[in-house]
């Protein structure tokens, strides 16, 4: 049996659940044992559903159990997504054919297929987000339920975009599911580990210098924007917190992720 990619870090199944459970209008089913259900449910604090397969399903097949759960969830108005776990994946069942009669998104993302980031990317790719020329504003990506700081990051970026008179378009992945079909052509990120790949990437938000460069690009892309209030606030914060002008070395060595320190631009950390 293949081993999990990293037993100390959430697996691909959990990453896929973190992506899909963040969208309103999506019902997520974890197809696996009770442990594979309770782990992401506890970690993400999101409403998930499970098939809770037991020895009988492992020996004789889990198709009937999966069909039963989907039948109970059909008719709610939400789109259903099924995420496979290690046991069903190893059994080799043709779940895709089983689900052909239903409008269900199948994400084959067992724990041994990679880490949380891989599962997150796989699920978002299968959702196939689309941009819409009629949509104004900037998408925010990197918002992941796995990140304990995602709420603060999102709140701060919304505040700064509002300060610059730039609307927020689609938030990946903490928004209405239907808005994934009408995303903006422009995107900025709050966490480099969970990039959406949607639209033109204007930059990240980790560190004062990065944030300044990102908003300067926003100012160029949006004629009606006013980035001066943001730049003034950044200058003020740089004077008060010169230690946050550069991204710390330990964050750079970890891949430059906001997930490492839980800071968007440093402003949140100052307590202002």
> How does pLDDT run across 186-195, given as a tens digit for each residue?
999 999 999 9
Please give the average per-residue pLDDT across 173-201, as a whole number: 96
Q: How far is CA 152 from the centre of its chain?
A: 15
124 band by pLDDT with thresholds 50, 70 and 90: very high
Which residue range(s) make up the domain with 96? 12-127
Are 105 and 172 in the same domain? no
8 Å CB contact between 182 and 135: yes
CB within 8 A of 128, min separation 6: which ones? none
- Residue 227 tokens read as 């980035």
Domain count, the chain: 2
Instruction: Please say which residue of 127, 151, 170 terminates a domain.
Output: 127
Would the pLDDT of 204 be above 90?
A: yes
Q: Both 104 and 204 in a single domain?
A: no
Average pLDDT, the chain: 87
* Domain finish residue from 127, 160, 182: 127
Does residue 221 sit in the same domain as residue 252?
yes
Residue 163 lies in a domain: yes
Q: pTM of the prediction?
A: 0.84
Residues 114 and 142 in one domain: no
Q: What is the reported pLDDT for 161?
A: 98
Assign 6 a pLDDT band (cuts: 50, 70, 90): low
What token pair was written down for 229?
């209030």
Please check whether residues 146 and 266 belong to one and the same domain: yes
pLDDT of 240 over the 70 cut: yes
Claim to verify: residue 91 and residue 159 sit in the same structural domain: no
Please check whether residue 260 lies inside any domain of the structure: yes
Residue 52's CATH number? 3.40.50.1980
With a pLDDT cut of 70, the percent of the chain lying above it is 86
């Amino acid at each position: 049996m293949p081993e999990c990619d990293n037993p100390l870090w959430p697996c691909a199944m959990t990453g896929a659940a973190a992506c899909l459970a963040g969208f309103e209008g999506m019902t997520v089913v974890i197809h696996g044992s009770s442990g594979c259900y309770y782990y992401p449910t506890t970690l993400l604090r999101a409403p998930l559903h499970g098939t809770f397969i037991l020895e009988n399903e492992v020996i004789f097949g889990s198709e009937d159990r999966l069909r039963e759960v989907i039948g109970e969830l059909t008719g709610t108005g939400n789109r259903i997504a099924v995420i496979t776990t290690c046991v069903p994946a190893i059994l080799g069942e043709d779940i895709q054919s089983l689900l052909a009669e239903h409008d269900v998104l199948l994400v084959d993302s067992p724990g041994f297929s990679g880490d949380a980031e891989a599962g997150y990317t796989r699920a978002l790719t299968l959702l196939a987000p689309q941009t819409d020329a009629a949509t104004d504003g900037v998408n925010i990506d990197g918002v992941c339920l796995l990140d304990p700081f995602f709420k603060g990051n999102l709140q701060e970026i919304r505040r700064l975009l509002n300060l610059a008179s730039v609307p927020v378009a689609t938030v990946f992945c903490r928004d209405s599911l239907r808005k994934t079909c009408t995303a903006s052509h422009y995107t900025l990120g709050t966490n480099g580990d969970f990039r959406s790949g949607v639209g033109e990437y204007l930059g990240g938000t980790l560190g004062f210098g990065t944030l300044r460069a990102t908003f300067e690009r926003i100012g160029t892309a949006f004629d009606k924007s006013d980035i001066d209030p943001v730049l003034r606030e950044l200058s003020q914060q740089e004077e008060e917190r010169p230690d946050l002008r550069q991204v710390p070395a330990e964050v750079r060595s970890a891949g430059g992720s906001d997930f490492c320190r839980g800071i968007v631009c440093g402003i949140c950390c100052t307590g202002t």
